[in-house]
Chain A
Amino acid sequence: MSLRLEPREHAPLGLRLLVSLLAGAIALLFVAIPVMAAGANPCEAYVLMAQGAFGSMFALSETLNRATPLILTGLAATVAFRARLWNIGAEGQLYMGALAAVLVGSGFLQLPGPIMIPAIMLAGFLAGGLMMVVPTMLKQRFGADEVVITLLLNFVVILFIQMLIEGPLKDPLSMGWPQSVPLLAEAKFDKLVPRLRTHWGLIIGLVSALLLWLMVKKTVLGFEIKAVGENKPAARFAGIPVDATMLKVALISGGLAGLAGVGEVAGVKGYLSADLSPGFGYSGIVVAMLAGLSPIGSVLAAIFIAAVFVGADSMSRATGISNYLADLVVALSLLCVLVGSFFLRFRLAPANPKVEA
């Protein structure tokens, strides 16, 4: 009996979950090949990875610490992609958010202590948001492709940051390291647990996910974003302000990525440097895809990706296998989820259903 593809009327939630889970699992399985090639036992490697990611309070904290920016960049991609706005610039938006946090929170402005943290968050959100609003306006005005613009802006931003931290923002006490002046103590996020690195940024990420879920499911804005994303002419005809809605999406998307940058500066490093993010912005796209553009799913996907990175680091220390393995898992899981999403749209059916004689 041969099989054929048939379009689905709709994909149930369970199936969507299954696709994401399978994508992650298959990606992990594939990694057995390079692990064996490196002469190690894949089963051992998996155990080491799991222990490295979840095996102790310290490991768990490291994983959640890694997941924190990924949740926010994942949500940034989620909200944009839902509206068919292709924001590939979360990396640059993250750095702009971090920059804004440093500008507001390192003593250039005299702010009373209690409003310091809200102030750097707002500044970071707006800075990141602006980085997405401008490309969106260019798209609306001149038809400029937002994929190209946001992608290229990532490189512009990082060069700009490098210029600043080698120049006007450079910390005179850094002994020559290219890093910015540090945040004031009252601008830093508290740790969630003493002596562990997980910080309040995680709570910000979780709350953002909840708020985004609420927005998507329950609000007029979510309704309008869906209409605009799925059929622009019909949305316009029905009186939904298409351009304004897209700009709101851009602000939220860029703003969430900006918040990720604020969290890294205020929660982890304490200052801005050019190695603040090892590609959190790009990984956010994988997170969103793996989550099937679900806000709550983004949290889980971010933790999965973070666990892969943290686990691979620890395994690599134990076995000597390169931690590039983590990048391989992430890339493979993206590929798997893309293949999987095809099966969300189509089902395999027997080519010859029963036919009465």
Chain B
Amino acid sequence: MTSHTPLLSLTDITKRFGTLIANNAISLDLHQGEILALLGENGAGKTTLMNILFGHYVQDEGTVRVAAGGDVMTTLPPGSPGAALAAGIGMVHQHFTLAENLSGLDNIRLGTEPLLSFGRRHAARAKVEKIITESGLDVDLDRRVDGLTVGEKQRVEILKALYRDARVLILDEPTAVLTPQEAEGLFAVLRRLAANGLGVIFISHKLGEVLAVSHRIMVLRAGEQAGELVTAQADRRAIADLMVGKAVAEVTRTPGARGRALVEFQSVSLGKPGHRAALHGVSFDLRAGEVVGLAGVSGNGQSAIAALISGLAVPDSGTMRLYGDPVTRADPRRLVAAGVARMPEDRQHDGVVGTMSVADNIAIEEVRSPGFSRYGFIDAKAIRARATAAIAAYDVRCPGPDAEARLLSGGNVQKLILARVLERAPRVILANQPTRGLDIGAQAEVHRRIIAARDRGAAVLVISEDLDELFALSDRFLVIHAGEITDAGPAETLDRATVGLLMAGQTHTPETLAS
């Protein structure tokens, strides 16, 4: 049972960045055994609040207090991650902070003791293994971190926090990068940890998982505390109301007019044969006026397909055709000029240059085109004007076109990329995880724009792990498994179970499944 003294208590936390108020007098309590979901639109201030709690940022006003035994609570010194750690606060950032060339175990021990103490290594392993049995966080401790999957890395991060005797665990959008299966596993772990007395705060944009896992929901809106709900009494509508202040319109999809093939893959192979993430003789096409959903567990060849359509690679064998002509050179610029819109999967890594301005990042694909430069000179005015319009049209929340892109919140970086690629009325769209990390309002907006582009005659390939998203958008399904693609047919003939079976590698066609 939860005790009356909270584990953790934030009082009137305010944080300003220049004139922007990222957090305005936020207060919250977290009790033992409680899972609290922190919700809010992109840029609402969720990450900022957690960074204050963990000591990465210094609040302008307000206090963070933690339970110190009995009914006593002590105030944490602001801006001291060391003190936060010592007080039992553990944080798993959205971008992992592991040393890639060390084993999982060494990463967990890192910073707690000298690395070259062999006796202690044994004791440490025993302690970690005990935590693993208690929590179900299964991971190969001796593998180097760069050989682990995203889900495994995340488990190492959580183990690292627990190893330091965390009593409060903070997870910033932990499921954004996980497959649905991995996310289920994570929730099982969180439930067990909470049952053992830990307090958990997690940030998410996925209302389904919030409703399934949390006990309590707190919503931020534009830096303000918009409200709190007990999950058992909440539903999607109530949460959405609190988050955006109005109901979110669902996208509706009318049947489209399927045109000619704009992109064709003909027995395309790419990558090391036999490797799971390589492509093996894949054939399919993307037609004008059609959204094709590519379903599959990540790591089954999706990145290879994305690399081909992005112009980062050409097939090892077979042909990829664009508008009927074979693409023979890996040249993103040519594809962009030909009207291909590309969204990278990892937007922080491949999508933006953090130290360049928002405006420059919007123009970056087309700096050489006449609209943005003349005789090799940048037309800064045109770039700014385009950015100002795009910021408004795509609701990119940022201080302005001159702000550095690294200061944008995760979801707003994605909006920036949408503004970059969709504004040109593209003929082919590669939407790779298009709504990862976007709030529900922004998700609906992206869906609306994708459908609008389709109605205008664009061919769209959506790569996503979110089946709900794929069913909302797709006219037709492709399923990828171990580098091979099955054409699963029109969306109307499919249900989640069928797609799920194909994703798991069942080689039946839909017809034989139906019979």
A224 to B364, CA, bound (A): 8
Q: Is there a chain B Cβ closer than 8 Å to A300's Cβ?
A: no
**A237 x B367 contact (CB < 8 A):** no
**B373 x A234 contact (CB < 8 A):** no
Partner among B62, B356, B368, B407 whose Cβ is within 8 Å of the Cβ of A226: B356
Kindly list chain A residues whose C-beta atoms are within 8 Å of the C-beta of B368. Answer: 220
Q: Is there a chain B Cβ closer than 8 Å to A349's Cβ?
A: yes
**B354 x A230 contact (CB < 8 A):** yes
The residues in A between 10 and 24 inclusive whose CB is less than 8 angstroms from any CB of B are 10
Partner among B59, B75, B331, B373 whose Cβ is within 8 Å of the Cβ of A239: B331
Q: Is there a chain B Cβ closer than 8 Å to A221's Cβ?
A: yes
Closest-CB distance, A348 to chain B (whole angstroms) = 12
Q: Is there a chain A Cβ closer than 8 Å to B465's Cβ?
A: no
Given contacts A239-B365, A240-B364, contact A353 B58 (CB under 8 A): yes
Q: Is there a chain A Cβ closer than 8 Å to B256's Cβ?
A: no
**A238 x B332 contact (CB < 8 A):** yes
Partner among A220, A237, A241 whose Cβ is within 8 Å of the Cβ of B350: A237
**B407 x A9 contact (CB < 8 A):** yes
Q: Is there a chain A Cβ closer than 8 Å to B135's Cβ?
A: no
The residues in B between 301 and 315 inclusive whose CB is less than 8 angstroms from any CB of A are 310-312
The residues in A between 202 and 231 inclusive whose CB is less than 8 angstroms from any CB of B are 218-224, 226-227, 230-231
Kindly list chain B residues whose C-beta atoms are within 8 Å of the C-beta of A6. Answer: 58, 79
**B352 x A234 contact (CB < 8 A):** yes
Partner among A223, A239, A353 whose Cβ is within 8 Å of the Cβ of B336: A239
Instruction: Give the most central of A223, A351, A352: most B CB within 10 Å.
Output: A223
Q: Is there a chain A Cβ closer than 8 Å to B404's Cβ?
A: yes
Q: Residue-by-residue, is B351-363 near A (CB-CB < 8 Å gives 1, otherwise 0)?
A: 1111110001000
Q: Is there a chain A Cβ closer than 8 Å to B60's Cβ?
A: yes
Partner among A10, A227, A235 whose Cβ is within 8 Å of the Cβ of B404: A10
A227 to B367, CA, bound (A): 11
Closest-CB distance, B200 to chain A (whole angstroms) = 27
A193 to B150, CA, bound (A): 68
Identify the closest chain A residue to B347 (Cβ).
A234
Kindly list chain B residues whose C-beta atoms are within 8 Å of the C-beta of A1. Answer: none
**A218 x B377 contact (CB < 8 A):** yes
Identify the closest chain B residue to A2 (Cβ).
B77
**B378 x A220 contact (CB < 8 A):** yes
A152 to B292, CA, bound (A): 55
The residues in B between 63 and 83 inclusive whose CB is less than 8 angstroms from any CB of A are 63, 75, 77-80
**A233 x B63 contact (CB < 8 A):** no
The residues in A between 339 and 357 inclusive whose CB is less than 8 angstroms from any CB of B are 349, 351-356
Given contacts A219-B378, A352-B78, contact A234 B312 (CB under 8 A): no
Interface size on B, residues (CB 8 A): 44
Given contacts A4-B80, A233-B349, A236-B332, contact A219 B312 (CB under 8 A): no
A165 to B113, CA, bound (A): 60
Given contacts A9-B407, A235-B353, A236-B312, contact A219 B376 (CB under 8 A): yes
Identify the closest chain B residue to A222 (Cβ).
B378
A218 to B374, CA, bound (A): 11
Partner among A234, A239, A354 whose Cβ is within 8 Å of the Cβ of B353: A234
Identify the closest chain A residue to B333 (Cβ).
A239
Identify the closest chain A residue to B57 (Cβ).
A6
A227 to B350, CA, bound (A): 11
Bin chain A's interface residue count.
20 to 34
Given contacts A353-B78, A356-B63, contact A220 B332 (CB under 8 A): no
Partner among A223, A237, A349 whose Cβ is within 8 Å of the Cβ of B360: A223
Closest-CB distance, A122 to chain B (whole angstroms) = 20
A238 to B60, CA, bound (A): 38
The residues in A between 237 and 282 inclusive whose CB is less than 8 angstroms from any CB of B are 237-241
Kindly list chain A residues whose C-beta atoms are within 8 Å of the C-beta of B118. Answer: none
Instruction: Give the most central of A219, A227, A234: most B CB within 10 Å.
Output: A234
Closest-CB distance, A273 to chain B (whole angstroms) = 40
Kindly list chain A residues whose C-beta atoms are within 8 Å of the C-beta of B367. Answer: 220, 223-224
Closest-CB distance, B376 to chain A (whole angstroms) = 5
Instruction: Give the most central of B310, B354, B360, B376: most A CB within 10 Å.
Output: B376
A227 to B361, CA, bound (A): 9
Given contacts A238-B365, A239-B365, A356-B12, contact A227 B356 (CB under 8 A): yes
A235 to B63, CA, bound (A): 42
A226 to B364, CA, bound (A): 11
The residues in B between 361 and 413 inclusive whose CB is less than 8 angstroms from any CB of A are 364-365, 367-368, 373, 376-378, 380, 404, 407
Kindly list chain B residues whose C-beta atoms are within 8 Å of the C-beta of A218. Answer: 377-378, 380
**A356 x B62 contact (CB < 8 A):** yes
Closest-CB distance, A178 to chain B (whole angstroms) = 45
**A220 x B373 contact (CB < 8 A):** yes
Kindly list chain A residues whose C-beta atoms are within 8 Å of the C-beta of B63. Answer: 355-356
**A223 x B378 contact (CB < 8 A):** yes
**B354 x A231 contact (CB < 8 A):** yes
A240 to B367, CA, bound (A): 9
A352 to B353, CA, bound (A): 34
**B58 x A234 contact (CB < 8 A):** no
A355 to B75, CA, bound (A): 10
Given contacts A6-B58, A238-B365, contact A351 B77 (CB under 8 A): yes
Kindly list chain A residues whose C-beta atoms are within 8 Å of the C-beta of B356. Answer: 226-227, 230
**B353 x A356 contact (CB < 8 A):** no
Q: Is there a chain A Cβ closer than 8 Å to B289's Cβ?
A: no
A224 to B373, CA, bound (A): 12
Kindly list chain A residues whose C-beta atoms are within 8 Å of the C-beta of B365. Answer: 238-239
The residues in A between 62 and 114 inclusive whose CB is less than 8 angstroms from any CB of B are none
Closest-CB distance, A293 to chain B (whole angstroms) = 13
Given contacts A226-B356, A356-B63, contact A220 B79 (CB under 8 A): no
A231 to B373, CA, bound (A): 22
Kindly list chain B residues whose C-beta atoms are within 8 Å of the C-beta of A221. Answer: 376
Q: Residue-by-residue, is B207-239 near A (CB-CB < 8 Å gives 1, otherwise 0)?
A: 000000000000000000000000000000000
Closest-CB distance, A344 to chain B (whole angstroms) = 13
**B353 x A230 contact (CB < 8 A):** yes
Kindly list chain A residues whose C-beta atoms are within 8 Å of the C-beta of B376. Answer: 219-221
Identify the closest chain B residue to A10 (Cβ).
B404
**A220 x B377 contact (CB < 8 A):** yes
Closest-CB distance, B56 to chain A (whole angstroms) = 9
**A353 x B353 contact (CB < 8 A):** no
Instruction: Give the most central of B59, B75, B378: most A CB within 10 Å.
Output: B378
**A227 x B377 contact (CB < 8 A):** no
Given contacts A237-B344, A237-B351, A356-B61, contact A349 B79 (CB under 8 A): yes
Identify the closest chain A residue to B56 (Cβ).
A7
Closest-CB distance, B78 to chain A (whole angstroms) = 6
A241 to B330, CA, bound (A): 11
Kindly list chain A residues whose C-beta atoms are within 8 Å of the C-beta of B353. Answer: 226-227, 230-231, 234-235
Extra inter-chain contacts (8) besides given A218-B378, A239-B336, CB under 8 Å: A9-B404, A220-B377, A222-B378, A227-B360, A237-B350, A241-B333, A349-B58, A353-B59
Sample (19) of A-B pairs whose CB atoms are under 8 Å apart: A6-B58, A9-B407, A220-B373, A220-B377, A223-B378, A227-B356, A230-B356, A231-B355, A233-B350, A235-B353, A235-B364, A236-B312, A237-B342, A239-B311, A239-B332, A239-B333, A240-B333, A353-B60, A355-B61
